[in-house]
Structure 1
Amino acid sequence: MLFLCTLSVGAQDYFPKNDGVKTTNTNYTAFTNARIQVTPNQVIENGTLLIQNGKVVATGTSVSIPQNTVVIDLKGKYIYPSFIDMYSEFGVEKPKRPMGGGRSAQYDATREGFYWNDHVMPEKNAMDAFSFDSKKAKELIDAGFGVVNTHISDGILRGTGVLVALNTQADNNYRILNQQSSQFLSFSKSVTSTQSYPTSLMGAMALLRQMYHDAKWYEAGNSNTKDLSLEALNKNKQLPQIFDAGDKFNGLRAAKIGNEFGINYIIKGSGNEYQAIQDIAATKATYIIPLDFPDAYDVTDPYQANKVSLGDMRHWNQAPANASVLAQNGVNFALTTANLRKASDFNANLLKAISYGLNKTKALEALTTIPAQLLGKSNEIGTLKNGALANFLITSGDVFENSTTLYENWVQGNKHIVNDMNVKDIRGEYTLRIAGNQYSLSIKGSAGKPVAELMKDSTKIASKFSYSNDWVQLFYTPEGDGKTEFVRLTAPVTDTDNLNGTGTLTNGNSVQWSAVKTAPFNERKKSEKTTEIVSTIPVTFPNKAFGFSEKPQQQTLLFKNATVWTNEAEGIMKNTDVLIRNGKIAQIGQNLNVSGATVIDATGKHLTNGIIDEHSHIATAAVNESGHNSSAEVTIEDVVNPDDINIYRNLSGGVTTIQILHGSANPIGGRSAIIKLKWGENADGLIISNTPKFIKFALGENVKQSNWSGGRFPQSRMGVEQVFVDYFQRGKEYGETWKKYKALSSKEKARTPMPRYDLELETLWEILNEDRFISCHSYVQSEINMLMKVAEKFDFKVNTFTHILEGYKVADKMATHGVGGSTFADWWAYKYEVIDAIPHNAAIMHDAGVTVAINSDDAEMSRRLNQEAAKTVKYGGVSEEEAWKFVTLNPAKLLHLDDRLGSIKPGKDADLVLWSDHPLSIYAIAEKTLIEGVVYYDYTTMQQMQKSNDKERNMLINSMIEAKNKGMKTQAPKIKEQELLHCDSL
């Protein structure tokens, strides 16, 4: 009857019916006496839900029930709206990489009439690739879901998704709710194309920016050609924009792009958002959060335990609280099954998230009303209001309790049975009597799938129990007979307190048996164990070893009786006091006394300004965008990684400021990021505001691809020169075109096509106007000469030659040109083009009048730059003061920051280091490293933090061993090596 009373949805109503008389079903179905959760915040006790034709007709306590209604009494049961998963790949096969691996990368798009980059595919529609998967649908239905928003998980711009009701009794004509429900994006390239660009995260971000600029320009009618991708992008811009970020920092990066172009991305996260919660909350972005929690590591072997970092151990402990932390900080989010190995894991993880503090109402909102609202379908799905689709769950109790059974999931008015709600509950304690023997029978588990244990006195009897279709079967081996024969018992279930049936003994004789319930099943509800929220380890800044429990604050500090290396005309001052106030150097002198200042006794110690590394690759998530021979459109500022432990290690070596340079994969690289090493701050907090703008260029073996397979132009050193000339000419023409356009009157602009805004050429135009400075990777004198001549041809100067191990050969020409040299102290002969390098290089350039700096280009060497500077005293006889300037004042000059950094002078930033010994000594320890008056590194505090880290680590190891002993799943420990990036890292 229930089947007849539901809507027949095999075909649209205007389709011809050739297999019988066509009839229309107008019956209703009423679910009475239920606790109805109409919305997460509206509950009807002892109510009625009335549905017809797959929709909700009415809900309430006094619903008028029509005569042609099937009434289902749900006394004691609950009704909830079915869940919605708005980030899914359901029914859409993931594209596969084409056969024939090992092919060389391509540099141009393969599709005619579409965008210039194959990884941008807004014209793709998931509907075209969709095929309903009944097996997967059942898994989702069993987990409580009624609707999914699915898409093609491939590419940077992935096209539109399709919104699907999980109605296994219908066809796509009925269950497709929206053929173009949303637009999906990511930072990941398509697997179907071998087009190499972009090869990096920063390249993907630059591509997205250029795409949005191009779409606006195209929409205004400025293009002479057709672009089907841009037309689709502009058509889809009103749809919900769902961005698969996959990481806490990538979520912030996506929000950054969205803010630039006025787009409110819905960001699909990864589960570690709690680690950057303040920054994420500040974006006001909505998130889609997976409930994919890491398993404990199997750390029973001490050697294996050493493979797991403290940060990964913490994440195991903290990850289940992610959703709770988001909710507590006002972040709007939906929940998804994405990232889970199987949909059946979702409910267990959801209950775990609730035990870690996620409010039940927030959880229900995240599964119903929030995704419905984000998808623009609040009137159709997510609630049980009148007119909504009849998508609902019938449960035995609170849907967010472990003891609750999900009975049915109705989708578009069609019933899907998960657990039979009419099953007789036979659980309890029984006394079983058969053939003069008495046993104890304990039936536990769930009502629909009970399990049993048979005991004789205190001995467990091997047995097998099953229960289905109101019949029980029990097989067991009698104790002590030494045989393998079984006693076989069966009985119909007519009374939940008594079981009576027939059986067959081991000798084949039939026998009557009975089991009388002596005690009811005592179901210990999960809620009894979760009234207290599970506690987690507090998050630190950053959330790893040596992270601060609270971010350090600016102080007023007075250093007394130090040997002060001023880098100014005063030189090295003995027994001198330095006052720090409001992040600046306030006063230098002797016998200073300041009320309210924290006094630091620096007697016998040396106070210097912080070391500045002109060429570094730490604290970044990417170093090269190698997909083109010019990547001037990318910026390292997009990929700054504030969690890099090398920040803290550099602080321990007295480094306070670095320039993070793009690598040397191409002649024209990407733009730089100049940061201060403010350990515990976010990426934006590291980047120095209002700095001069820099870009990385490169010469030599790397850019002509001597050391890896390429095929991209250039393949020779003379080709490198041609790249520079061609691009500067293009940049010049680009800039002049824009100058002419901007000079037009309003009327003239109205009838003149606007030039295309080009991020790459815009950057080159900045160089030509000396609004951006070049730091060029260089080795061989011929190429150093070449680039200076190219620059002079276009009337600008190269700012810095970095590496420049043959600088001593052309030092006089460098001085004439006005370019600085940032070099290694004593690296040579590690590849052919540095075979002529000498350790006297820095001294010779310095003597010729070149501004010289010593750089690292290496995460390990960067924290010993004081010792690298000392080598120039040995090799070339540079004075100690001048040698110290090679890692302080001189790199500040090369970065055009010497008005703020590089020396100890009133008014400059209080970026200081207190050394235990002469700063050029191998015995010198950086006791305190300050940035703008904040102590970011303290040697004594570091030792205390090490002890605290060890103690916490041991506690987490014990917790994971305990979890394993309780039967929880574990994973094998893994060493997660952090790649130390260099110029040639790809």
Structure 2
Amino acid sequence: MKKFLILLLFSCFLPKTYAQQYFPNNEGVPNKTTNFTAFTNAKIYVTPTQIIDNGTLLIQNGKVIATGKTVAIPKNSVIINLEGKSIYPSFIDMYTNFGIEKPKKNMERNPMYDTKKVGYYWNENIRSEVNAYDNFVYDQTKAEELLKAGFGVVGTHNPDGIARGTGTLIALNNFDKSNQLISDKVTNHFAFAKSVITNQAYPSSLMGMMALLRQVYHDLDWYKKGNSETKDLSLEALSANEKLVQIFTTEDKLNSLRAAKIAKEFGLTYVLKGSGNEFERLEEIKKTNSKFIIPINFPAAYDVSDPNQADQMELKDLRFWNQAPTNLKVLSDNGIIFALTTDKLKKMEDFRPNLLKAIKYGFDKTKALESLTTIPAAILGKSNEIGSLKTGSLANFVITSGEIFDEKTTLYENWVQGNKFVVNDITAKDIRGNYDLTINNDKFKWKIEGEITALKSEITSTDSKKIKSKLTVSDNWISTVIKPNDSTKTSFTRLIGYIENTENLSGKAVLFNGSEVKWSALKTAPFAKAIDSSKADKNNVIMATTFPNVAYGNNKKLEPETLLFKNATVWTNEKDGILDETDVLVKNGKIAAIGKNLSDASATVVDAKGKHLTSGIIDEHSHIAISNGVNEGGHNSSAEVTIQDVVNSEDINIYRELAGGVTTSQLLHGSANPIGGRSAIVKWKWGASADEMLYKDQPGFIKFALGENVKQANWGITNPTRFPQTRMGVEQVFTDYFQRAKDYDSAWKKYNTSGKKGKEKAPRVDLELQTIAEILNSERFISCHSYVQSEILMLMNVADKFNFKVNTFTHILEGYKVADKMKEHGVGASTFSDWWAYKFEVNDAIPYNGAIMHKAGVLVAYNSDDAEMSRRLNQEAAKAVKYGDVSEEDAWKFVTLNPAKLLRIDNKVGSIKIGKDADVVLWSTNPLSIYAKAEKTLIEGVVYYDSKRDEENRVAIAKERNELIGQLLQEKNKGMTTQEPKKKEKVEYHCDSMEE
């Protein structure tokens, strides 16, 4: 027994290369050698900044033994003289799916609630238990493509799902399979993307994916503390892989900010796999303090030769083509650490040209080399093995003819773990140049040009006639076929010879009649690459980045101004009513003074005589500026999701809202399910980040819904279905969830006050029930999509049962029928001015609805629920005067003060009052007029829209488009690859919009 234990212990310490020696070998006689290989007289880049001239690299058994100028070369060494050549560490691409089979989409129509088998996380998009190495198959063909591009190591993973499992690190060793695996688990992967193998409906939106990921991290914490009574292999895997490099695939700059936000919430560190547009939000990207993996898949030039097609292109797409090659320089110059990846390249051959293009646009060559070697190695925690040629590192290196990022440089060989892969023949001699060719006694001029690996031959007779010829070189043997100019002849002259002296070529010629003679070629001029002036190596003029980087973006971040509006008609929305010929001072972002004959030496005076100054319009119900889904409808409750996660600060609708006088909006979840998601109250600070747009310390709101949408009456029979299918089922959903939330809240209160906190099992954090409990505790308020009077009464009854109040019924087109009950309950109404009969449950809608509810004492607002209507809410307010004879002042409050009250922010906005936020609009005339135009729109004293500035922008945009189209036409004239312009159809979300 003792001998057995000693033998077992000894076996544990055997080197990895000798493991599994008892496996049969059916691949031929093993070629094991202990010889050294010494590469001498080379310029060696040990690291991008440690360079040895005329140095020696010594390798053995796949590893670097030594590098230096005076390396002692052992006797049993193969010596390779690399005089005039360079050695670099092979590149690393840490983000690929190399050797991983593309997941197949599940085409079966299973019920949407089917989950993974017992023992795994309930949602199939959480695939943290997947390990790339379990399904890895080495792809020799793809490996050769990567080797030719200079790569020696790749990280690979399964790119499917939100939590994607672990990635593995592979050496591109085409000759020794036993050493290909460097590390079986090196990274742990996440993304904002659904798995293709699942039919589960949840999550369908970006906000749903973010909510699911948050819930997973809460569950992981709860699980690790031993609170679960069952085993969950998905959470087990997440826990086990926490110390691996966490890579989050974002594919967009805004998504990078969103992923960084989640990381901050849970104390995580993500390496963010970006998209190439990071320069557009540089300051926010820098603040994440994240490391990145950046692709270099620059867009091809657009073929804008057809003016009609060119007109369909958005400025932001034209501009991105122009600016994209600067991304790497901008990131590098601003101290952002990143590795490069070939991901998203259409073909591997584009890698080098794109990288050289980035360098041409200012990306430092040393930084470029670091981003392909030492940086990915450091991020992966493998600096002692890969990314350099330091002693002990893997013998992964490329041999080049010169500086690796020079266009003229040839990559000869790529050695991986000491195994040579030939890219181009290192022994090939350069015979390019001009020659005097003699075949027997006949004289010719011979020009040999092109690339060394793809030579071109041009032969000219003494009478200047060109003769067709084809030249090939292999192993320094030259072979040329000279074709007769007379196409009727089938006879050729063939030249053959061995290249010994590139200045004087010679050999044997076989003439068309079969006789053999000698030929010789004396070089008269060296090769000089012809430069076509039309293809001169000039950079395009780079367009300035704006905030946001789209049409009408600001040239700089806007700042608050001190403005004095003189002699305006001021709609105060306060007890003072409408004031004529009145001054308003805006200072430090607030309303500083209101009155006659005001003055301030620091203020810019705005002549407002004959014009009207109002508080900014507030849209209580909007769906603009939301990224990747307004509905999370896979479940009948999605209270855990929030629109605050997915505000799209670059939506052009924001600028259009400002042009219509809108300063604040509530962005609501859609109406696909009874209990929707949490809302976002935003101020439209055009050019600011999404976080900067969020209303500070905003009260919590959530979207509920009733009617046709939630019971899926209009989803169609081909769509998956879920409970509820009837209006009575909707009521049951509310009752069930409120009771569960009540029990959940009680459990936590009991745990927190028991005195045994931390000593007994804690309740599981449930973001969904936690949110619904906030309603019961009057910490969150309901805005409910509603139409039919019976359901309106139903929800108020449910609220009474659970002792809370519904805050707002939105749409509420049958509100006029139950206005007295609404007044009694204390609920407000946010309605349409005159929409009716657009679906069955709206048949009883009337345009007098708002006025009737208003006169019954219900707090009434008009909303848009539509990107187009929201720009004209001033005219919607005017309809209250027409339909119901509401006074102008009260009608104006329908789109200003009343929605502010419904949103519980009227202490800061909604009226012109000293101390309130300076969210004001200067109108050309009475704002209720169809002729009224917003001339200035301010938010907290910043002029975010100015009609004169808008006119200047239009001229500048036209000029920029013309310049960019000119650049694109020039690209096509140079013969560059182009793509067809495609009009991008913008998706405008409505209540019932669902993501595909």
* TM-score bucket (shorter structure): over 0.9
| Letter matched to residue 822 of structure 1 | S
Select which of 859, 868, 871 maps to 2:876.
868
The CA deviation at 1:150 is: 0.4
Q: Which residue of 2 aligns with 1:270?
A: 275
1:763 maps onto 2:771 in alignment: yes
| Residue in structure 2 matched with residue 660 of structure 1 by the alignment | 667
Equivalence for 1:917: 925
Give SS of 1:453's match. Answer: strand
SS in structure 2 of the partner of residue 202 of structure 1: helix
Alpha carbons of structure 1 residues 208 and 583: separation in structure 2 relative to 1, 3 Å:
same
Tell me, in whole angstroms, the C-alpha distance in 1 between the residues paired with 2:196 and 2:822: 46
Match of 1:467 among 466, 473, 477: 473
Please report how far the alpha carbon of residue 606 of structure 1 lies from its aligned counterpart in structure 2 after TM superposition. Answer: 0.5
Pick which of 656-665 and 491-500 moved more. Answer: 491-500
1:724 aligns with 2:738: no
SS of match in other structure, 1:57: strand
Contact 1:402 1:525 in 2 (8 A): no
- Aligned equivalents of 1:845, 1:693: Cα separation in 2: 25
> Contact 2:540–2:967 at 8 Å: present in 1 too?
no
Q: Give the equivalent residue in structure 2 for 1:395.
A: 400
TM-score (norm 1): 0.96
Match of 2:7 in 1: none
Relative to 1, partners in 2 of residues 1:23 and 1:830: Cα closer, same or farther, differing over 3 Å? closer
> Which stretch has the larger CA shift, 827-836 or 108-117?
108-117
Paired with 2:28 and 2:910, the residues of 1 have a C-alpha distance of 91
3-state SS in 2 of match to 1:44: strand
Aligned to 1:579: 585
Identity across the alignment (%): 62
- For residues 205-243 of structure 1, the C-alpha deviation after alignment (integer angstroms, 9 at most, x for no partner) is 000000000001000000111111101110001100011
Match of 1:182 among 170, 177, 187: 187
Structure 1 residue corresponding to 2:614, chosen from 593, 608, 625: 608
When structure 1 is superposed on structure 2, of 727-736 and 487-496 the one drifting more is 487-496
Amino acid at match of 1:302: P
| Deviation of the 1:941 alpha carbon | 0.9
Residue 632 in structure 1 maps to residue 639 in structure 2: yes
**2:139 maps to what in 1?**
133
> In structure 2, what is the equivalent of residue 78 of structure 1?
86
Residue 514 of structure 1 deviates from its aligned partner by 2.3
898-907 or 344-353: which moved more? 344-353
Q: Please give the secondary structure, in 1, of the residue aligned with 2:546.
A: coil
Assess, with a 3 A threshold, how the Cα gap between structure 1 residues 368 and 18 changes in structure 2: closer, same or farther.
closer
- After superposition, residues 205-224 of structure 1 pair within 5 angstroms as 205-224=210-229
Q: 2: CA distance between counterparts of 1:882 and 1:278?
A: 43
- Structure 2: how far apart are the matches of 1:478 and 1:23? 51
Shift of 1:665: 0.5
1:155-176 Cα distance to aligned partner (Å, 9 max, x none)? 11111111000000111x3120
Letter in 1 for 2:92: I
Among 583, 594, 597, the residue aligned to 1:588: 594
1: CA distance, partners of 2:620 / 2:880: 17
User: How far apart, in 1, do the equivalents of 2:152 and 2:186 lie?
Assistant: 16
Cα pair 1:356 1:535 within 8 Å, conserved: no
Choose which of 355, 358, 363 in structure 1 pairs with 2:360: 355
| Per-residue CA distance 1:375-403 (angstroms, 9 max, x = gap) | 11110000111111111111111111111
Query: Aligned ranges for residues 8-27 of structure 1 at < 5 Å?
Result: 25-27=33-35
SS at 1:75 equivalent: coil
Task: Write out aligned runs for 1:820-859 (5 A).
Answer: 820-859=828-867
Cα 1:250–1:904 change in 2 (3 A) is same
C-alpha change, 1:726 and 1:80, in structure 2 (3 Å) is same
| Equivalent position of 1:247 in the other structure | 252
Q: Which runs of 5+ in 2 are unaligned?
A: 1-14
Q: 1:700 to 1:104 in 2, by over 3 A?
A: farther
The answer to whether the Cα contact below 8 Å between 1:10 and 1:169 also exists between their aligned partners in 2 is no
Q: Which amino acid aligns with 1:134?
A: Q
Q: Which whole-Å deviations, capped at 9, do the CAs of 1:851-908 have from their partners, x for residues lacking one?
A: 1000000000000000011011000000000000000000000000000000000000
The one of 293, 311, 321 aligned to 1:316: 321
Question: How far did residue 130 of structure 1 move?
Answer: 0.3
The residue that corresponds to 1:737 in the other structure is: 747
Match of 2:810 among 799, 802, 810: 802
Report Cα offsets for 1:905-946 as digits up to 9, x if no partner.
000000111111110001011011111111111111111101
Does the CA-based 8 Å contact 1:84-1:367 persist in structure 2? yes
Cα offsets for 1:33-53 (capped at 9, x unmatched): 111111111111111111111
Cα RMSD of the aligned pairs, angstroms, is 2.0
Q: Aligned residue for 2:72? A: 64
Instruction: Encode CA deviations 1:285-310: one digit per residue, 9 max, x unaligned.
Output: 11000010100111001011112111
Counterpart contact for 2:62–2:395, Cα < 8 Å: yes
Report what 2:9 is aligned to: none
Q: How far apart are the structure 1 equivalents of 2:388 and 2:840?
A: 70
Alignment of 1:267-346 (within 5 A): 267-346=272-351
Shift of 1:481: 7.2
Q: How far is the alpha carbon of 1:450 from its aligned partner? A: 2.1
CA distance, structure 2, for counterparts of residue 72 and residue 492 of structure 1: 23
Indicate whether 1:487 and 2:493 are aligned.
yes
Residue type matched to 2:635 in 1? H
Per-residue CA deviations over 1:807-834 (Å, capped at 9, x if unaligned) read 1001111011000000000000000000
Aligned partners of 2:480 and 2:496 also within 8 Å? yes
Deviation per CA, 1:51-90: give whole Å up to 9, x if none.
Answer: 1111111111111111111111111111111110000100
Residue of structure 2 equivalent to 1:151:
157
8 Å CA contact retained: 2:310, 2:981: yes
The correspondence for 1:169, drawn from 172, 175, 184, is: 175
Contact 2:427 2:475 in 1 (8 A): no
Alignment correspondent of 2:8: none
Q: Provide the secondary structure at the position in 2 that maps to 1:549.
A: coil
TM-score, normalization: structure 2?
A: 0.95
Structure 1: distance between partners of 2:589 and 2:846: 40
Match of 1:940 in 2: 948
Partner Cα separation in structure 2 for residue 270 and residue 319 of structure 1:
10
Unaligned runs of 5+ in 1: 1-6
Shift of the 814–868 alpha-carbon distance from structure 1 to 2, 3 Å rule, reads: same
Partner of 2:418: 413
Shift in Å, 1:23 = 8.6
User: Which secondary structure does the structure 2 equivalent of 1:39 belong to?
Assistant: coil
Aligned partner of 1:403: which letter?
A: K
| CA shift for structure 1 position 345 | 1.5
**TM-aligned CA deviation for residue 750 of structure 1:** 4.1
Letter in 1 for 2:139: D
Partner of 2:985: 977
Equivalence map 1:327-726=2 (5 Å) = 327-434=332-439, 436-456=441-461, 458-479=464-485, 483=489, 485-523=491-529, 535-621=541-627, 622-708=629-715, 709-726=719-736
Query: 1:464, CA displacement in angstroms?
Result: 2.0
The number of residues matched between the two structures is 973
